[in-house]
Amino acid sequence: MTFIRKARFALGGIAAASVLALSAGMPAHATYEAGVQAYMNGQYQQAIDLWHRFAVAGDVRSKKILGDVYSGKTLEGAQAAATPLEQIPVDNVQALLWYTLAAYNDFTAYQTPTADEVNARILAEQRLPDIRSRMSTSDVTKAEKLVSQTFEAGSAYDIYRIGDMYQKGAGVKKDNTKALQMFSLAQERGVGEASAAYEFLEPLMTAKEIKTALEQAAEWQPPLPIEHTGKTAQQEELERLKKELEEIKMAEALEAVSDIDVELIQRALNAIGFRAGVVDNKLGPGTRAAIRRFQYSTVARDLGMTEGDKQAVVTGVLTPRQTVELFGDASKADHPMSQYVYGIMHVRGIGVEQDGSQAVNWLGKAADQNLAIAHYALGVIYRDGTTGLNEVSPDERQSALHLARASALGYQPANDALRRLSFEYTRDVQ
């Protein structure tokens, strides 16, 4: 059976360390407006740079508008003229970071905050639930970590405030151990509120939690500023070029995926419950309907996509990447023929990284279910070895074992391969 006819401006994440500077307390109306004006002139990067600079200095309106920028919202008010922010890629992690910093902005350093500043903080707080609902749990965790790092890199009072946020579960996930750690650090730095908070929280915790918090406080170091942790321009350019080359290589490898027989696609769909019907090697209505169901399943839980976006994916024709994903899913469902296909993909680097260890793993699973062609493939692999990651070295004993098993299961090409192996082994001995 032949299963393959032929092998043929993302804005960088702004590090949170040194971003807060809440105690500086700097309304800077004119400077915030300068960012708005730059944005209105289509100078998007300059606008972001300005707002970032003023957000670092403590301007709540700049923090809130950075949340808008990264969440894909339009500017509000008459001055915006409804100009969209579509030129700037959405980054929900950064959006949640900035909205949180705005929502918990400290006005104590201001003589009297303006109505616009108070309104910015209120709007940011109102938008937190919406932005969180669009994010995966892991992305929310990333944003909360950046929020925590930002406060920890600030003043002693900022450290107390992040402790208070941890205690209340406000802006970050509730964590009494982390809260007590921050209260301990702020208390040592002379923050009176931290002492009272520590005395209130400690009786509510177990001895183990208290011990952990104090150990973490003893080991704590303030986060390094961006100049010590960020990537250099050269590193970012090298990473961009590497990613570009990998995409080119992947695109070439994926071309071979389009040659996989429809019969194998039908079997894989049936194996994972998408009911492609009779296996006839024809891309008929039943198979297309099964493909549509599979395609929808791959995006159904993506909170970042609208229902319209999800329906646009449901075409009834597999893309190369979807084909790879289909065989991966069917392999994990213990379907032997799909495991064989997935193993060969790893041997040749078709749509996946060329990896000898993964190839042997998936082919071995198929062979364990007495799939003759999988034994034959393993025999060839152990005869010739592999290239790429985790290379498999030639092993005549393993090769003979698998070829013999394939022959015993009735796979005729294994007979010739076994005779050839026997001849070459004898000749080498002589």
pLDDT tens track for 187-203: 998 988 999 999 999 99
Domain assignment of residue 8, yes or no? no
Q: Which domain holds residue 275?
A: 254-429
* CA pair distance 300, 166, nearest whole angstrom: 33
Are 269 and 336 contained in the same domain? Answer: yes
Domain assignment of residue 241, yes or no? no
**With 90 as the cut, is the pLDDT of residue 45 above it?**
no
Contact criterion met (CB below 8 Å) for 408 and 378: no
Domain count, the chain: 2
For the domain that residue 376 is a member of, what is the CATH number?
1.25.40.10
* Selected residue with higher pLDDT from 280 and 40: 280
Are 210 and 335 contained in the same domain? Answer: no
**With 90 as the cut, is the pLDDT of residue 418 above it?**
no
- Confidence category of residue 258, pLDDT binned at 50, 70, 90: low
Are 58 and 184 contained in the same domain? Answer: yes
Percentage of the chain with pLDDT > 90? Answer: 37
Domain assignment of residue 14, yes or no? no
**With 80 as the cut, is the pLDDT of residue 145 above it?**
yes
Are 269 and 345 contained in the same domain? Answer: yes
Region 294-307 average pLDDT: 83
Domain assignment of residue 120, yes or no? yes
Are 199 and 309 contained in the same domain? Answer: no
Domain assignment of residue 237, yes or no? no
Are 86 and 197 contained in the same domain? Answer: yes
Lowest mean pLDDT among 204-218, 225-239, 334-348, 403-417: 225-239
Are 179 and 276 contained in the same domain? Answer: no
Are 418 and 296 contained in the same domain? Answer: yes
Are 178 and 320 contained in the same domain? Answer: no
Domain assignment of residue 242, yes or no? no
Domain assignment of residue 13, yes or no? no
Averaged pLDDT score across all residues of the chain:
80
Domain assignment of residue 290, yes or no? yes
Are 215 and 280 contained in the same domain? Answer: no
Are 384 and 262 contained in the same domain? Answer: yes
Are 295 and 419 contained in the same domain? Answer: yes
Percentage of the chain with pLDDT > 70? Answer: 78
Helix 262-271 with 336-348: angle, nearest 10 deg? 120
